[in-house]
Structure formats: structure tokens, C-alpha cells
Amino acid sequence: MFIDSRSVEDRTVLETTVCIIGAGVAGITFALEMDKLGIDTCVLESGGYKPDDETRDLYRGENVGIPYTFADGSRSRFLGGSSNCWGGWCRPLDPWDFEKRDWVQDSGWPFGLEELQPYYARTHALLQLGPQNFDPAHWEASINRADVRRHPLPSGTVRDTISQFSPPVRFGKQYRSELLKSPHVRVLLYANALDIETDSHAQRVNRIQVGTLSGRRFAVSAKVFVLATGGIENARLLLASNRVQSAGLGNGHDLVGRYFMDHPRVMSGSIRFNKAWARNKLYDIKYHYQNDAVKAHGQHISSQFALTQQVLEREKLLNARVWFYSMFYGENTAGAEALIRCKQAVLKKDQPGWSLTRDLLTMAMHPVEAGAFGAARLFQPRALITDVKFQTIVEAEPNRNSRVTLSNQRDQLGMNRVKVDWQLTELVKRTFDRTNILLAEEMERAGVAKVTLDEPLEGKPWPTQLEGTWHHMGTTRMHDSPKQGVVDSDCKVHGMANLYVAGSSVFPTVGANFPTITITALTLRLAEHVAHTLRAHHAVPLTDVATMGQVFVGNGEAATEKLPFAAEVRPLREDMLFLVKK
């Protein structure tokens, strides 16, 4: 069910089993799992069903690092979270993204890809993806079009990779009905978490203090708390909850907010294709994004180039992905930008301040640029393509000095705003340079194109065209040691009994793939762990009840006799049954 928190009585304490802070991809995924398991759950969502300026303002803060947008347009503070401004790209991390690499500082996860594989498989239903198959040959053979074919590049240097597109799923819209009907989940709208209140030793969370912009104040008490507010806000709330620990919760080793990462993106170079390979829709972002021509098995896909694992190890590089990016006549003009915003509105992307009337007027004032750009996108005539560039996205190297801290500025709720200091290492620049050089050499060797590269980035200031991809990650990183991570391998905050973190803030390293599918997989894994923990806490293993009575289990059914309490038998794991007190 949904509850408007502005109607909750002041100083009320709501009680539940699980409290989730945030109703984005991670929060809603976790809530749906709790609902399936019949676990009483309360979800706190800062916004309502749609965006509003007053709530959106709570995301704003100071940028003190590389020029960077991290609020308006890159995050959405209403039901569904950042899925409301998500493009839908999905691909699991590569196996080596999880590994410790001696040339990548602070790299490595506590587990490998195999740990997440069964959960990646389960994400496809939630994200409305096709089969769990990311083999390029499988998809390209299925499409079987002359303008959608594999470049003759894969060798020991370059490899093809495939991504699938979610429609994209807007979690707040897609799963609203399911949450509304749930007998186990209460979603509190306009509910802002103000403080994580703990015991006197900061070892257990007792309740969350909640406030609304209308002035209401109440609390939520639970057995388990899950922080799922995104890569920036997760750190912000932990740092702001400093009544018991002055540095903030989970911050005994000064790690909360550090290692802030995003995937940097640069467009560069100029590509002149051999006629036979010009405008291949499979690799060009202008053609493959949600394009029915690049579709098989009912699923939209795209292809990207990447370097092989052997080359990454030999060259000591980070992971990266490269697309082609056709430049159309009218590109980057006011008329073209207005047309793009209108298309994003059709895809229901959250665009703060967007006005259809204003954009229609802009296109009317710039008819040639808007018309030519639209014709190029729709009909793809070669005459309207002025250039083709590389668009390269590189893995961010974990960097302790790239961080989120609290600003002295305060928002309308009285909370410190964030201060974001995004920093990138020289290895990121070198990876941009070498990835594009190696790909260009391979393209020329194969007779695909002639490539003119830009000046190298390494050793120079970042160019003005550098931008992030609004993937906020790493600020509550995962590590088995509390000296090197904020959460353990189960995503539980070190030193705390019942506080977990969900989402990309726990990523120790981030690869060069899009994070949403991995966020979803990690959340499914976390939900399973929390459910097992809750059951174990209220259950007695069958092996321990011999003195309490006799238990009969057979053919999937169980009965209890002579027990000193009313009980039922439930499966906890495939290999273990538990008696649960009624």
C-alpha cells in the first residue's frame, strides 16, 4: 500500500520488520522480494509519484572537483528513483572486473562473477530483457541484415561485446500496482530519512527519524534497515548520522564517501569508413539505441568494441567500451537539442524543467537545423552525416581522494547538502589513449576505415568535452576488512548488526559496463541473505530440537509433535529445514 507521510501523525513510531530507505531500482527490487516472502516491510521514499521542484532541490549541492553535473537530470527523487532517467543499457560486468589487478589501485571484489551469475539470470524478468545470452555471434546471426553485421575486427586485440536494452523499465510505474496491492509492503511517500538512530555503541540501528517538507516528524522502528538511496545519498545519510559516532556511521576508518566513481566519457577522433562498412547500425550509437533494425528475439541490442583481457593485462589498462558516433547536420544546435528532449519525453525520461511548448517554439525558430537533424536520425541519408567519432567510456580507477563529503550548506529539512569532488587518475587518461589507438590500428589493418586521432589525453588537463555518465558508485565500498571497506561481502555495514547498503555505492571496482543490471543482481542476493538472517533469528534448527520433541519430515511436508511451543517447518536453504515458532 501507499501512504502519504504528510498525513502521518507527528511523533508516531511505525513498526516493521524491514525498513528500506529509498524506492529506486534497489529499494523497489528489495521490497518486491520481501513481499514474495511475506516479510513486513516499510519503504521510505522522499518524493511522490512524479517529480516536484521542492523535493528535487534536496539533491543539490556543491561541485568542487572536475566539472560535473550530479543533481538535475542525472538523478530523480521520486518513486522509481534514477530508473526515471535511465537509458536502459544492460550488460553484466566482465569476469576480470571482480579480480584484484596489481596495476589498478584498491581493485578486487570479495567474490567473483560466479557468485552473481544466478542473480544476473533473475534480473532479466525485472528489467524486461531477452535471453541471458550476451554472445555477439548469437545476436548478429539472428538479425541477419546487411547493415547490421560484425566488423572483421575480433582478434587478439579487439573483441565484440553485446548489450541488451531494457524498454527502459521505470520502476515506479512498472511496479506501482504490485506495491499498491501488497499486503506486506507499505511505501511512505514524501518521507525523508533525516537520521539513522542507533544504540549507545553504534552497533545496532533502532529507528530512522523521518521528516516531510510539510513539517511532519515521525520515526520507523525495524529489525533490519536497508539503505538504498544511491551512490551519493547513501554516503550523505551515513555521514550525517553522527550523534553517536562523530565521523558518521560506518566511518571508523574514514572511508564513507571516499572512492566516488563515475564512468568518464569522451568523444574523439574522426573516422572515414570504407564504403562497405559505412553506417553499420550495430556499432553506431545513433542507430542502435532502441532501433528495431538492431533487434532479435524481440530484444533491442547494441554492440561495442573492447580490448581483450590479454591486452588489458599486457598494457596495464582499465576496462573500456567504444562505440561509433555519427555526427549529423544540425548536431548540437538549439533546434536539434529541442528535438532530442521531445524524444526523451516520449520515453518518459525525467527532465527537470522540460516544456513541450518551449521546445516546439525553439524548433520553429530553427527549422533547418531541427528538420535536417530529425531527417538524419529518421532516414539516415549519408549526405547529412558530417563526421563519425569514437565515443569511449572508461572504467574509473578507485581513487581514495575522489569523494563525497558534507557541505556547510543546508537544505530545507536542515540536513547538510553534499560536496562532490570527482577525481580521475592518469591511468584513466592512458586507457582512453591506448584503447582508441589500438582500435584505430585494428580498423586500418582490417581495411574498415582510416582514423584520425585527437591529441593524447595523458599528461594534460581533462578536455572540456569530458562528461560523466551519471553512474554514482563506490562511496560505501565492499571489502571483507573494515579497514578497506564500509560494508562486508553481505553488504552489511562493518561493526553494525542490522544495517545494510544496497546499490552501486558498494561497488569496489566498476568495470566499463552499465551498473543497473549489477545493482539489481546484488539487491536480489542481499534480499535472499536478509531473509535467511531473519528466519534464522526466529528459528530453531531441526538438529537442535531432539530434546524438545519429535519431528517428522517427509515428501516435502512436515508435522511436529510433543513440542513445548506451536511451530511449523519451513525451508531455509535447500539443504536445511528450520522450525519456526508461530
Q: Are residues 216 and 280 in the same domain?
A: no
3-state secondary structure of 220: strand
**455-496 pLDDT, tens per residue?**
999 999 999 999 999 999 999 999 999 999 999 999 999 999
Q: Are residues 146 and 3 in the same domain?
A: no
Q: Given this model, what pLDDT does residue 300 score?
A: 94
Q: Given this model, what pLDDT does residue 579 score?
A: 44
Q: Are residues 52 and 181 in the same domain?
A: yes
What distance in Å separates the CA atoms of residue 492 and residue 322, rounded to the nearest whole number?
35
Q: Are residues 314 and 251 in the same domain?
A: no
What's the structural domain count of the chain? 3
Domain that holds residue 521: 1-129+167-261+403-418+470-537
Q: What is the mean pLDDT of residues 94-100?
A: 98
pLDDT band of 385, cuts 50, 70, 90: confident
3-state secondary structure of 16: coil
pLDDT band of 147, cuts 50, 70, 90: confident
Cell of 50: 512524479
Q: Are residues 308 and 386 in the same domain?
A: yes
DSSP-assigned letters across all residues of 338-364: HHHHHHHHHTT---TT--HHHHHHHHH
What distance in Å separates the CA atoms of residue 577 and residue 401, rounded to the nearest whole number?
47
CA-derived radius of gyration, the chain: 25
Compute the C-alpha angle 478/484/490, nearest 5°: 25
Q: What is the mean pLDDT of residues 110-139?
A: 96
Q: Which amino acid is at 383?
A: A
Residue 444 contacts by C-beta under 8 Å, 6 or more apart in sequence? 450, 451
Residue 324 has pLDDT above 70, yes or no: yes
**396-434 pLDDT, tens per residue?**
999 999 999 999 999 999 999 999 999 999 999 999 999
Residue 562 has pLDDT above 90, yes or no: no
CA proximity to 218, closest of 44, 31, 34: 44
Q: What percent of the chain has pLDDT over 90?
A: 73
Sign of the four-CA dihedral 188, 193, 195, 199: positive
Q: How many CA atoms lie within 13 A of 259 on its CB side?
A: 26
Q: Are residues 250 and 187 in the same domain?
A: yes
Q: Given this model, what pLDDT does residue 171 score?
A: 98
Strands lying side by side in the sheet with 192-198: 13-15, 217-221, 205-211, 192-198
Which residues make beta-bridge pairs with 145?
Answer: 148
Q: What percent of the chain has pLDDT over 70?
A: 91
Q: Which amino acid is at 517?
A: I
Q: Are residues 249 and 377 in the same domain?
A: no
CA proximity to 24, closest of 282, 227, 202: 227
CA proximity to 263, closest of 322, 305, 324, 340: 322
Q: Are 487 and 250 in contact (CB under 8 A)?
A: yes
**567-582 pLDDT, tens per residue?**
555 554 444 344 444 4
Q: What is the dihedral of CA 347, 352, 353, 354, to 10 degrees?
A: -10
- C-alpha to C-alpha distances, 143 to 139, 147, 160, nearest whole angstrom: 6, 10, 16
Q: What is the mean pLDDT of residues 300-311?
A: 96
Give φ, ψ of 369 to 5 degrees: -65, -45
Q: Quickly count: other Cβ atoms within 10 Å of residue 13's Cβ.
A: 9
Q: Given this model, what pLDDT does residue 551 score?
A: 38
Residue 482 contacts by C-beta under 8 Å, 6 or more apart in sequence? 252, 253, 488, 494, 495
What distance in Å separates the CA atoms of residue 488 and residue 481, rounded to the nearest whole number?
7
Q: Are 5 and 216 in contact (CB under 8 A)?
A: yes
Q: What is the dihedral of CA 386, 390, 391, 393, to 10 degrees?
A: -170
What distance in Å separates the CA atoms of residue 358 and residue 224, rounded to the nearest whole number?
47
Q: Are residues 302 and 312 in the same domain?
A: yes
Q: Is 98 exposed, middle or buried (0-12, 13-18, 19+ CB in 10 A)?
A: buried
Q: Given this model, what pLDDT does residue 243 score?
A: 96
Q: Which residue has the higher pLDDT, 79 or 375?
A: 79
Q: Are 163 and 305 in contact (CB under 8 A)?
A: no
What distance in Å separates the CA atoms of residue 283 and residue 151, rounded to the nearest whole number?
9
Q: Are residues 377 and 485 in the same domain?
A: no
**221-276 pLDDT, tens per residue?**
999 999 999 999 999 999 999 999 999 999 999 999 999 999 999 999 999 999 88
Q: What is the mean pLDDT of residues 283-291?
A: 86
DSSP-assigned letters across all residues of 520-557: HHHHHHHHHHHHHHHHHHTEEEGGG-TTT-EEEEETTE
CA 395 to chain centre: 14
What distance in Å separates the CA atoms of residue 108 and residue 115, rounded to the nearest whole number?
14
Q: Are residues 29 and 140 in the same domain?
A: no
Residue 327 has pLDDT above 50, yes or no: yes
Residue 115 has pLDDT above 50, yes or no: yes
Q: Which residue has the higher pLDDT, 154 or 514?
A: 514
Q: Are residues 309 and 371 in the same domain?
A: yes
On average, the pLDDT of the chain sits at: 90
Which residues make beta-bridge pairs with 554?
Answer: 557
Q: Are residues 145 and 206 in the same domain?
A: no
**22-55 pLDDT, tens per residue?**
999 999 999 999 999 999 999 999 999 999 999 9
Longest Cα–Cα distance in the chain? 86
Strands 224-227 and 18-21: parallel
Q: Given this model, what pLDDT does residue 566 score?
A: 54
Q: Quickly count: other Cβ atoms within 10 Å of residue 206's Cβ.
A: 13
Q: Which CATH number goes with the domain that contains 531?
A: 3.50.50.60
Give φ, ψ of 466 to 5 degrees: -65, 135
Q: Given this model, what pLDDT does residue 539 score?
A: 55
Identify the helix (H) or strand (E) that includes residue 432.
helix 426-445
